[in-house]
Structures are given as C-alpha cells and as structure tokens.
C-alpha cells in the first residue's frame, strides 16, 4: 500500500499493535519502508503482526509492554534504542474499551482501568518517547483519542473523559515541543470495524446497524482509513501540523 508519503526518519513504534487499528498502522508504516516496533500486552497477537509485516517484506520486532507501568515503558524505549539505535515516530494507540452504563452506575475499578491505559499509558509513552525524538532532532507522535473525546458520549462517560484527556496531553505537548521539531497530534476515530467493535456489538446486530447509521456516510470506518491518517500526520507532508485532534468519523461530528 503506497500512499506517497515521505519520511525523514527510520523507526516507528506502535502500541496496541496486536490487532485492529494498531496492527493496520504497523503494517502501513512497514509498507513505507520504516522499521516497526510492534508493542502490546497480547504477545500472540503482537508476534502475529510482526509475522504479517515480515511476510509482506517489511522489518519489524515485537516488544511486549504494559503501558500503565513506568518501568515497562522505560524498558521498551531502552530496547528500541538497543535494537535500532533511534526512534522517529510513535503511534500511542494502546487503549481499552468503553464501559456500557450511565455515570452513576460506574465502578471505581472500571474508572481506574480505563484511565490507567488510556490516559496514564499515553502520558508515560510520551514522557519516555520525547527525549528519544529530541535526540534525533525531532520526530512525530500520534495518539489515539476518539470522537468520544470531542463531545458527549452517553453511557461512556469514563471512556469519554479519558479521550478528552488524551487530547489535552496532545495539545499541551505539541505546544511545549513545537520549536524542537517534535510534532504531536491525535486521531479521533468514530466507530471502526475492529475486534473491539465486534465484541461490543456481536451480541446485538441491531446495535451494529445503529452504529452504521450514526455516521452520515452510512457505514462504520475501516482500520486502514485510520492508518492512512496516522501516516500522514507522521510524514514530512504534515510538517506544519501539530496539536490537532483529527476526527475520522464519516461526518459524525459535523452534525
């Protein structure tokens, strides 16, 4: 899949790369000739993503990491430097799924789990990635937020709050490091056809129909459509783009 983007760096990290949007983006980076570090807590899925990249003629390595643990994220960066000597691009995509209930019905454990991965995980990844990018004279980070980070998400208040937080981290870091040539942006997908989506909707086919109807284009998104946006935001063509939260949502937020 050649999209005509140009990259001045060599090495890309993708977290949450064992499936879905992460796997598709890891494959897309590799298709552009970049060395890809695939990371996830799902070892089997991560190794499968690496194998897919290698079968397509690309170069990749799997490094497991729980993004909620500072020591593991620090170790991930050390291993990347040992393996490839540098880091140029990072797609902080690891996240966990939405809760399904009104705010007053939520549990503390649910709150801690969602915030731990979706917010602390992104913060820890950026905290440890930025010094490596600065050492290379610049680079690009893309974080996975959500359309739920751009407005209300009824029955998903914790998830929505976590994705609003990702956008806050993204914009603040973008401004802090703008003069150091480290760009930070976020993608905000609507409903995308992933394993996570299928788990949420397979029990009720009507929900899947409703999900498609939520988007003015009349369908849910494809993982490759998110991957293309991530590659653009990391590419040299997006050199003037930082601090943005790009909705990729079939028109949903335009209503």
Annotated active-site positions, please? 159
Q: Which two tokens stand for residue 164?
A: 């609003």
DSSP SS3 for 230: helix
Residue from 117, 169, 120, 161 nearest 143 by CA: 169
Nearest Cα residue to 142 out of 89, 80, 70 = 89
Q: How far is CA 153 from the centre of its chain?
A: 19
Answer yes or no: are the C-beta atoms of 215 and 191 closer than 8 Å: yes
Closest CA to 39 of 7, 79, 85: 79
Return d(Cα 186, Cα 221) in angstroms, integer: 17
Measured from the Cβ of residue 232, the count of other Cβ atoms closer than 10 Å reads 18
32 close to 236: Cβ distance less than 8 angstroms:
no
Count of all residues that appear for the chain in the document: 255
At 170 the three-state DSSP class reads helix
Q: Taking Cα atoms as reference points, which of 74, 80, 245, 232 lies closest to residue 174? A: 245
């Amino acid at each position: 899949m050649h999209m005509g983007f140009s990259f001045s760096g060599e090495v890309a990290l993708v977290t949450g790369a064992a499936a879905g949007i992460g796997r598709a983006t890891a494959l897309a980076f590799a298709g552009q000739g970049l060395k890809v570090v695939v990371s996830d807590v799902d070892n089997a899925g991560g190794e499968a993503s690496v194998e897919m990249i290698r079968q397509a003629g690309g170069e990749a390595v799997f490094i497991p990491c729980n993004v909620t643990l500072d020591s593991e994220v620090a170790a991930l960066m050390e291993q990347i430097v040992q393996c490839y000597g540098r880091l140029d691009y990072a797609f902080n995509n690891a996240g966990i799924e939405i809760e399904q209930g009104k705010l007053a019905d939520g549990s503390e454990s649910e709150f801690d789990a969602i915030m731990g991965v979706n917010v602390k995980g992104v913060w820890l990844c950026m905290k440890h990635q930025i010094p490596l990018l600065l050492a290379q004279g610049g680079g690009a980070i893309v974080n996975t937020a959500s359309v739920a980070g751009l407005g209300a998400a009824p029955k998903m208040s914790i998830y929505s709050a976590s994705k609003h937080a990702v956008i806050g981290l993204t914009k603040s870091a973008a401004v802090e490091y703008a003069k150091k040539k480290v760009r930070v942006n976020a993608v905000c997908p609507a409903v995308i056809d992933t394993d996570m989506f299928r788990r949420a909707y397979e029990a009720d086919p009507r929900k899947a129909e409703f999900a498609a109807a939520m988007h003015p284009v009349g369908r849910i998104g494809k993982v490759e459509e998110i991957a293309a946006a991530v590659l653009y935001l990391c590419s040299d063509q997006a050199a003037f783009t930082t601090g943005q939260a790009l909705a990729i949502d079939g028109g949903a937020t335009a209503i």
